[in-house]
Amino acid sequence: MWEGLGNRLLSLFVIWVTAILCLWQRRKTFEQARLATEKALSEEDSASLREALRQLEDQKFALDQHSIVSIADTWGNITYVNDKLCEISKYEREELVGRNHRVIKSNEHTHEFFRELWTTISKGEIWKGEIKNRRKDGTFYWMNATIVPFKDAVGRVVQYVAIRTDITERREAEEELKRATAEAENARHDLEETVEELRDFNTAAVGRELRMIELKKEVNELVGALGRSVRYDVAFDDVDVDEDEDEDWSGPGTDTGLVTPRESPAER
């Protein structure tokens, strides 16, 4: 009896141990499978991450070749500048990073201009416009700028990325065109004034000629009325006439400088 019970217990023990071994082996297999899967996924994710970083680096390189780029914190302090910004501003990178953007401020723009700019980007909106900045040597340059706010996971703005292009030549050409246009307008105004003066002078000269013609006609009519057969033209020579001689003038032909007789065709 006891021998049969012992055999049964032994059989149960063997079955229990076998089950435990099978479970342990299966768990080990599952763990190995999990680790292998995670490794495969990790390698795939790493490859994807490396590819994404490579593409990002390529895009950054291309952007740096074309644009003037800087990054600033929410206070406007510069945290990054690319080579093109250093080149156009004539500052070294170490002279810009850590300083506020006011270091390149030109004082060209009003307080309202910057208030509108900061209000826009502080709300997380993109700002676009043209800005005049000052180089280290005191000269100026113009940029067409786009400022993009970047936010954290909870939506708070944490930094601003400014991407710019140099438009100095275009703005200088526009200023030169404005100056030339203003000079041309002034020249046109001066010319109009000169033409008006000449017109007035010609009008006055014509008026004087017409008056002299009328005076000549009146003198000849007066002479004709006196019964003379001579015709008189007005003399324009300046002749000093004594008042007494003028009062004793007895008729045409005296040397008064006023009229000069000419023979009529009938007397020739």
CATH number at residue 148: 3.30.450.20
Q: What is the DSSP letter of 1?
A: -
Residues 57 and 147 in one domain: no
Q: What one-letter code names the amino acid at 50?
A: R
**Number of domains present in the structure of the chain:** 4
pTM higher than the cut 0.75:
no
Query: CA nearest 145: which of 119, 124, 163?
Result: 163
Q: What whole-number percentage of the chain has pLDDT above 70?
A: 67
Residues 183 and 153 in one domain: no
Model pLDDT, residue 63: 77
User: What pLDDT, in 10s, does the model give residues 38-51?
Assistant: 666 566 666 777 77
Mean pLDDT of the chain: 75
pLDDT interval class at 70 (50, 70, 90): very high
Mean pLDDT of 117-125: 94
Residues 223 and 233 in one domain: no
Query: CA nearest 148: which of 163, 166, 169?
Result: 163
Centroid of chain to Cα 228: 84
Tokens of 171: 């703005």
pLDDT of residue 245 exceeding 50: no
Domain that holds residue 176: 169-227
Q: What one-letter code names the amino acid at 147?
A: I
Residues 152 and 76 in one domain: yes
Q: What one-letter code names the amino acid at 231?
A: R
Query: How crowded is residue 232: how many other Cβ atoms within 10 Å of its Cβ?
Result: 19
Q: What whole-number percentage of the chain has pLDDT above 90?
A: 38
Of 48, 65, 82, the position where a domain reaches its end is 65
Residues 129 and 207 in one domain: no
Mean pLDDT of 66-77: 92
Q: Is 179 helix (H, G, I), strand (E, B) or coil?
A: helix
pLDDT interval class at 235 (50, 70, 90): very low
Residues 82 and 134 in one domain: yes
Residues 103 and 125 in one domain: yes
Residues 78 and 159 in one domain: yes
Q: What one-letter code names the amino acid at 114?
A: F
Residues 197 and 242 in one domain: no
Residues 78 and 147 in one domain: yes
Of 65, 82, 101, the position where a domain reaches its end is 65
Give me the residues paired with residue 78 across strands. Answer: 72
Residues 183 and 146 in one domain: no
Residues 72 and 159 in one domain: yes
Of 131, 166, 201, the position where a domain reaches its end is 166
